Structure 1
Amino acid sequence: MAEFSIREMNVNDIEDVMVVDSVSFSMPWTKEIFVQEINQNNYAHYFVIEEDEEKIIGYVGLWIVEDDAQITNIALLPTYRGYKIGEKLFGFAVQYAIKKGASRLSLEVRVSNIIAQKMYRKFGLVPGGIRKSYYSDNGEDALVMWVNLY
């Protein structure tokens, strides 16, 4: 049985993370964005989830500014979706934010991504508004979801 572990992302992980990003998003991030987030953004915290401590199958990123946490992105390789691995990864990010003193957590999700919205609701996130035409690839609206962490 496969074991899944979560650890802090480092620059050596970027190539594998970009594979996950490219199959998950229509406008994946560039290597330069990931390098900047890891090396230069003091608010950014990124983690990878690995299968058997050798294969990166997903990642999550968040910014923590004072007591506000914002999920920047979360993604899994398609073959690993539907097995609650995303819940494990998201739950880790929530607990990390709490440990770092965040009292609120928010994110944006495509209004069409009902599966992700259902998962976020399991963690207590609720809709807080709409960002019109948020996604530049197709102009889709984003649903803003948030939760008080304590």
Structure 2
Amino acid sequence: MIDIEICPLKAEHIDSVVAINNLSFPTPWSRESLEKEIEDNTIAKYVVAKKFNIVIGYAGIWCILDEGHITNIAIHPEYRGIGAGSLLLETLIEICKIEFITSMTLEVRKSNLIAQNLYKKYGFVQEGIRKAYYADNKEDAIIMWKHNI
């Protein structure tokens, strides 16, 4: 983990983020959606993880009043399991502290136990289910919250 750098997502990272997005999600966000997030969405904060100056992952959060809603965390498949996801999530938590966010939330696929375990490691707990949330296969989403940031 020592050689992983976290920095703000910039336009120059979009190609890498799009590639990671396409490798990570059954229904990935479009390039246009990602560009609008970093250019136009004033409540959005995005960061990338880089190893040897190669973008290996990214994460985003929407800061709405006193809540943070994690939009995405994704790591390139070749770099999973080396701690980049943890570093990105720690960075989102730090952003929330800076922004005076008191609670964080997210939705995660019911089948994505690896992600659920990462969130639990950082104090997130399951507080609900969104039935048939994901359009691609109608899979349920687990709603997780972390309070008292």
Which bin holds the TM-score, normalised by the shorter protein? over 0.9
Alpha-carbon distance, 1:25 to partner: 0.4
- 1:126 matched residue in structure 2: 125
CA distance in 1, matches of 2:37, 2:122: 25
- 1:81 matched residue in structure 2: 80
Pairing 1:32–2:32 present: yes
- 1:35-114 → structure 2 map (5 Å cutoff): 35-52=35-52, 54-114=53-113
Most deviating of 87-96 and 56-65: 87-96
Moved beyond 2 Å, runs of 4+: none
Kept in 2: contact 1:132–1:140 (CA 8 A): yes
TM-score by length of 1: 0.95
Please list every run of 5 or more consecutive structure 1 residues that lacks an aligned counterpart in the other structure: none
Per-residue deviation, residues 88-121 of structure 1 (Å, max 9, x unmatched): 1111111111111100000000011111111100
Alpha-carbon distance, 1:2 to partner: 6.9
Distance 1:87 1:2, change over 3 A: closer
Please list every run of 5 or more consecutive structure 2 residues that lacks an aligned counterpart in the other structure: none
**In the comparison of the two structures, how many residue pairs are matched?**
149
CA distance in 2, matches of 1:34, 1:83: 25
Alpha-carbon distance, 1:82 to partner: 1.5
What is the letter of the counterpart of residue 51 of structure 2?
A: E
Alpha-carbon distance, 1:35 to partner: 1.2
CA distance in 1, matches of 2:28, 2:115: 18
Alpha-carbon distance, 1:141 to partner: 0.3
Q: Percent identical across equivalent pairs? A: 39
What is the letter of the counterpart of residue 18 of structure 2?
A: M
TM-score by length of 2: 0.96
Alpha-carbon distance, 1:12 to partner: 1.6
What is the letter of the counterpart of residue 43 of structure 1?
A: I
Alpha-carbon distance, 1:11 to partner: 1.4
